[in-house]
Structure 1
Amino acid sequence: MTPEARHWLDLIQGLALPHSVRVMNVCGGHERAISLAGLRTVLPPEIALIPGPGCPVCICPEEDIYRAMRLALDEHVLLVAFGDMLRVPVNLPRTEPRSLDAARAAGADVLPIASPMDALVLARQHPEREVVFFAAGFETTMAPVAAMVAQGLPDNLSLLLSGRLTWPAVAMLLESENPCFDALIAPGHVATIMGPEEWQFVPHRHALPAAVAGFTPESLLAAIYSTLRQTLEKRSFLDNCYGEVAQPGGNTTAQRILKDVFDVVDANWRGIGVIPCSGFNLRETHVAHDARHRFPDQPNASRRRMGQMPAGCACAQVVMGKISPNQCPLYGRGCTPKNPVGPCMVSDEGACRIWWASGVRDREATPV
């Protein structure tokens, strides 16, 4: 542990916390950093760090993954997606392909890519093929996707868009009858794009402490300390503990491109439902590159399983912070990274996958 991290940890351990404090970290990258650094093992037991809804693979609607599979299998397009998306299972009989990986094994042309530019390169390399980029992600992913669209796409490249904004999910949790956290660690990468001020609604509207954090133990511990101090002093404000990167106002160029290319629409989150004004959709000026417009018959509406998780899977409760990953009935019992049942065990930003990778093997009873 670095001297700076030790400093913040000493300050946290010196606080006289009269009760438990539940601190939600929204970002999957934060959860990975917390687990890799072992912060839960050194913090006082009164502090509960709760993973939140910051995994785009985990909340990508099941019907979008199914649509991507059918495009690859039935329309014979070259389907490209970020690597994690290929392994997410959908609700189908075991006799049928149940993921993009399985569709590829069945003969579909499905390729993993690492960046939006890879989709552009493939489309230019294969002008004779229809290329569909299944683009799932939050603001930090959607900004380069929007920039690619703004610069002009080849005629044979279309987008199956499943982009989401982060803050509406947190707002939905706070507006529920029983919010599951007392303070918030806001995502540093999103704040870099959209500006830290986007999270002012947490203290202003809900009177909860909040702090923007980066991805080092030092920044995370500073943000945790800030929210705990706010809790003890009974005052709530937004603290920016990632100020060297997340500047006031954010990246205005990225914000402008996002606004020029996308409309903000109501959107479905897997296992959660439709959250108002939480999704990105291509604007009418770019509809020619919308895969839903180009291939309007996919999928059959009667097949859709809107937002459902597989039977027995509690990923939705994990994403919403209602239970910890090892309280899911399937955690480590039929659901592991090698054989995932739910999306939270697939992605590197999924809480179940992160906990398993960090060595958590014991299961806890699910709260009633």
Structure 2
Amino acid sequence: MSGAAQEWLEKIAALGLPRRVKVMNVCGGHERTVSMSGLRSVLPPQVEVIPGPGCPVCVCPEEDIHYAIRLSLEHKVTLLAFGDMLRVPTNVPKGEVRTLEAARAAGADVRPIASPLDALRLARAEPQRNVVLFAAGFETTTAPVAAMLSDSPPDNLSVLLAARRTWPAVAMLLESGQPSFDALLAPGHVATVMGTQEWDFVVDRHRIPVAVAGFGVDSLLAATWSVLHQLVEGCRRLDNCYPQAVRPGGNQVAQRHLEQVMDVVDANWRGIGVIARSGYRLRGAFAAHDARLRFPLDAAAQRKRAGQMPPGCDCASVVLGRIYPDQCRLYGRACTPRSPVGPCMVSDEGACRIWWASRPRAATGKGSEG
């Protein structure tokens, strides 16, 4: 651990917190740093860091994944998706194709990609091929999709959009009457695109301290100290602890692309339900590139638990910060990275997958990483 990190730990310890404080991080990257570096084991026992709704793969609607599977099997397309999406299971009867990975094994042309530019390159290189990008993600990955569509994309490129906005999920938690945290670490990558102002409501409306954090241990500890110091001093503000990347107002060009290409709509989050103004939909001007319009499917047969988490899976509670990953009924038993049941065990940004990799032993995470 760096000298700067040690200094932040000493400053946190010197605060003398009078009570237990729950600090939520809203980013899978944050949770990965916290878990892999063992931060929970070196923070004071009064500080409890809980993972929040920071995994887009985990909240991607089950029905969207099922649509992508059927699209890949029933239409002559090449379906591209970010790698984590290929292993997320859907709720179908035993023996049916339940993941995009299984669809590929069944003969569908499904390929993992790392960037929307991979889809653009393939569509331009092979204009006779129908290329569909299954675009699930938060603002950071959605903005490049919008930029791609705003720049005269080839006719053979379509997008199956399952994009979500980050802050409405936090707003839903706070307005539920049962917030599970006392302070918030806001995601630095989202703030890089959208700016810090999106998080003003947490301070202004709910009087909860917020600090935008980067992905290094130093930035996370600086942000943790900031919110804890605010609680001790009785002040509330929005602090930017990632100034090297986050600027006031964010990335205006990226925001213009989003506004030009997409409408903000109410959207479903897997296992959680519909959250107001939490999703994106392609504007009418881009209907020619909307995979749902271009490749319609017949009404699917009724499926038990369609749109929900699998039976026994507590991923929704993990995503909302209400339980820790190892408090899920299936964690480490029926659900492992080799044989995942819920989406939180699939994605590298999923709290269950991260906890499995860092091997925490106790529900509170205190002294448990190893």
TM-score by length of 1: 0.96
Letter in 1 for 2:62: E
Aligned-partner SS, 2:23: strand
Deviation readout 1:239-274 (Å, 9 max, x if unpaired): 110112101111111111110010000100001100
1:122-161 matches, within 5 Å, as: 122-161=122-161
Query: Which residue in the other structure is 1:26 paired with?
Result: 26
**Displacement of 1:302:** 4.0
Query: Equivalent residue of 2:143, what SS?
Result: helix
Separation (CA, whole Å) in 2 of partners of 1:131 and 1:305: 30
> How far 1:306 sits from its partner (Å)?
4.9
CA distance in structure 2 between the aligned counterparts of 1:292 and 1:70, rounded to whole angstroms: 12
| SS of the residue 1:200 aligns to | helix
Shift of residue 300, structure 1, vs aligned partner? 2.1
Aligned partner of 1:334 in structure 2 is: 334
Taking the TM superposition and a 5 Å limit, the aligned residue runs for 1:28-43 are: 28-43=28-43
Judging changes above 3 Å, is the alpha-carbon distance between structure 1 residues 259 and 87 closer, same or farther for their aligned structure 2 residues? Answer: same
Give 2:27's aligned amino acid.
C
The yes-or-no answer on 1:81 pairing with 2:81 is: yes
Are 2:66 and 1:66 equivalent residues in the alignment? yes
Q: Give the Cα separation in 1 of the matches to 2:33 and 2:279.
A: 27
Shift of 1:16: 1.2
Aligned-residue offset at 1:127: 2.1
Map residues 230-309 of structure 1 onto 2, 5 A cutoff.
230-297=230-297, 299-300=299-300, 302-303=302-303, 305-309=305-309
Match of 2:121 in 1: 121
SS of 2:168's equivalent?
A: helix
Confirm or deny: 8 A CA contact 1:86 1:101 kept in the other structure. yes
Q: Deviations over 1:99-129 (max 9, x none)?
A: 0001111111100011001111122233222
Amino acid at match of 1:313: C
Residue 4 of structure 2 corresponds to: 4
Flag structure 1 segments of 5+ consecutive residues without an equivalent: none
CA RMSD of aligned residues (A): 1.3
Aligned partner of residue 54 in structure 1, secondary structure: coil
CA distance, structure 2, for counterparts of residue 114 and residue 338 of structure 1: 22
The verdict on how the C-alpha distance between 1:191 and 1:176 changes in structure 2, with shifts beyond 3 A counting, is: same
1:182 aligns with 2:190: no
* Cα distance between partner residues in 2 of 1:250 and 1:72: 36
Whole-angstrom distance in 2 between the partners of 1:122 and 1:131? 8
Which residue identity is paired with 1:263? D
Tell me if the contact between 1:270 and 1:306 (Cα under 8 Å) persists in the aligned partners. Answer: no
Query: What are the superposed Cα offsets for residues 281-322 of structure 1, whole Å, 9 maximum, x if unpaired?
Result: 111100110011112225527448553000000000000000
Cα 1:165–1:298 shift into 2, 3 Å = farther
1:363 deviates by 6.6
- Contact residue 77 and residue 129 of structure 2 kept, 8 A: yes
Specify whether residues 305 and 334 from structure 1 end up closer, same or farther in structure 2 by C-alpha distance, changes over 3 A only.
Answer: closer
Query: Aligned with 1:18: secondary structure?
Result: coil
SS in structure 1 of the partner of residue 53 of structure 2: strand
The one-character-per-residue Cα deviations of 1:39-63 (angstroms, maximum 9, x if unpaired) are 0010011111010001000000000
Amino acid at match of 1:88: V
Distance in 2 (CA, whole Å) between partners of 1:209 and 1:298 is 48
Q: Any idea what the Cα deviations from partners look like across 1:163-207, whole Å, max 9, x if unmatched?
A: 011000000000012110010000001111110111111110100
TM superposition shift of 1:27: 0.6
- What SS does the corresponding residue of 1:65 show, helix, strand or coil? helix
* Distance of 1:126 and 1:2 partners within structure 2: 49
What amino acid sits opposite 2:319 in the alignment?
V
SS at match of 2:26: strand
Does the aligned pair in 2 maintain the 1:266–1:279 contact within 8 Å?
yes
Q: Greater shift after overlay, 286-295 or 302-311?
A: 302-311
CA distance in 2, matches of 1:307, 1:34: 31
Q: Give the conservation status (yes or no) of the 8 Å contact 2:69–2:100.
A: yes
Structure 1 residue 154, shift from structure 2 partner: 1.2
Percentage of pairs with the same residue: 65
Amino acid at match of 1:137: G
SS at match of 2:52: strand
CA distance in 1, matches of 2:301, 2:222: 48
Amino acid at match of 1:160: L
- Paired letter, 1:307: G
Work out the CA distance in 1 between the residues paired with 2:280 and 2:56: 13
Is 2:111 aligned against 1:111?
Answer: yes
Q: Distance in 2 between matches of 1:299 and 1:105?
A: 24
Give the letter aligned to residue 225 of structure 2.
Answer: Y
- C-alpha separation in 1, matches of 2:299 and 2:85: 18
Query: What CA distance in whole angstroms lies between the structure 1 residues aligned with 2:253 and 2:306?
Result: 35
Q: Note if contact 2:21-2:47 (Cα within 8 Å) is conserved in structure 1.
A: yes
In structure 2, do the counterparts of structure 1 residues 112 and 304 end up closer, same or farther at CA, with 3 Å as the change threshold? farther
- The alpha-carbon distance between structure 1 residues 291 and 305, as it changes in their structure 2 partners (threshold 3 A), is farther
